Amino acid sequence: MLIREITIHNLRLLRDVKIPFERDGQPRTWTVLIGRNGTGKTSILQAIALAAAGNAGAISLADAVRDQLPDMRRAGDVAIDATFGFGPIGQQRGERPLAPDGKRPEGLGVELRVPPGRDPLRAVSWYTPLRGDKPEGSGTEATDPLVAARARDLNHWFVIGYGMFRRADDAQPGQKPPDWPSINRLRPLFQPVPLIGPGFLDILPEELKGPYTAILQQIIKGSQGDDPVLPGIVDLERRGRGGVQSTYDLNERNRWVEQIGTRRVKLPASWFAHGHQSTIAWISDLVGHVLLEAGSYVEPREMEGIVLIDEIDLYLHPAWQVRFIRALQRTFPGLQFVATTHSPILLTGLRRDEVVILERDPEDGDVMWRHPDRDPRLLTGSELYEEFFEIRDLYPTDLARTLDAWRTLAMNPHRPAEAEAEIDRLEGIMKREGIAVRPRVPRAGGAEAAE
């Protein structure tokens, strides 16, 4: 399942926003949302999740945030309209519940409404282009293909969401299989719930535990080189002392191989810093959910579906961020990522049409969007901050500008006599801030200084 387009009305500050997720008529695999705080980045991820959940699933997800959804500036329904498609493998193999015999619809339309107050949320879906007219009322398992697919947790209808609460060592031993996995794997976007992550080793059937750790090892080893998914981690040791059979084995035993200087050291996942913990958590969770739904081994390159991630750069060093997008693109070419970020450095792995800048209208505060004017892959560090954060000054702080003004005057031997008072003032500011400066250059004498 892949998203093609979404239209959002009256969701917080998203009064009338329509965002396409296509390139050359096909769903593009990457979209990253960037903007100031309060421009609706997380709200867009939540809107996609609600649209993809079906009527009953959306009711379950929205319950935790129902009162936070409406645009408080005016009364009216929250309205979300979306169109979805399927990847090549899903189009060929995926089941189409309620489709006419012999037909394999290529798309799905969704309409979702959240009325003011406590009136029930309503959502309905229909196949496209087989039927152009939208059904009336709310979808049921007997009439609505998306509701039917979610009720059975069907393969090739995959959508998953990640909020900012993600750590590998939150996985608890002895976890049970999740209830309604096709919906509960979206819940982290709506409330802070721990991920299953490496805990899938206690959930997956025995015949999938080996494939699960083999895929994690493949992701680590296959991405070595210039663009590793997990920089510094070079292998996952799956052999010896019973192999890797449980959450405890991944989190607490020395199974992850890190390159430290010239040595390779085996360490537990719980030993790593936040950046590696966060990335291990959501990638191991993603792989586990894909295998749980498929019921069989799936090559990372053949995984399809939508991955929604809030703050994809969470805890990642800028040197890691520069390569992270390219690493994920090579590892999961069939997955469609829609993510948010506050880091312009992360965007260097993206084309211009893969970046969506969100801004508020200065008059009414409504959120608008645009693609950047320049391709982020070609920009310098300063140009990235100018393009995406509107930081155009060479020195972005008052103190740095004070130093620049002092340097311009104090290092000029031909400055006029009246400049000395200004230099004294600037030096006083810097002294109060603990900034030491070298002695000013003496003024040249006579007519030369006057010039």
Report the candidate in 188, 227, 191, 228 with the shortest Cα–Cα distance to residue 308. Answer: 188
The string of pLDDT tens digits covering residues 409-444 is 999 999 999 999 999 999 999 999 999 999 999 998
pLDDT score of 130: 54
H or E, element range at 212: helix 206-222
Which residue has 């189009």 as its token pair? Answer: 91
The per-residue pLDDT for 254 is 81
For residue 256 the two structure tokens come to 């992850």
Query: What pLDDT was estimated at residue 447?
Result: 46
- Residue reference for tokens 């939540």: 46
Dihedrals phi, psi of 198, to nearest 5 degrees: -60, -15
Q: What is the pLDDT of residue 240?
A: 60
Q: Assess contact for 307 and 276: CB atoms under 8 A.
A: no
Look up residue 231 and give its DSSP letter: T
Q: What is the pTM of this model?
A: 0.88
Show the tokens assigned to 219. Answer: 């992701």
Domain spans in the chain, listed from the N-terminal domain onward = 2-158+304-389, 195-299, 398-450
Instruction: Please name the CATH architecture into which domain 2-158+304-389 falls.
Output: 3-Layer(aba) Sandwich (3.40)
Q: With contact defined as beta carbons under 8 Å apart, do 186 and 150 qualify?
A: no
pLDDT at 421: 95
CB 228 within 8 A of CB 320: no
Pick the closest to residue 249 from 229, 273, 266, 263 (CA basis).
266
Q: Which residues are registered as beta bridge partners of 9?
A: 16, 79
With a cut of 50, list the residues of the chain below it in pLDDT: 447-448, 450
pLDDT at residue 448, as a whole number: 47
Residue type, 444: A
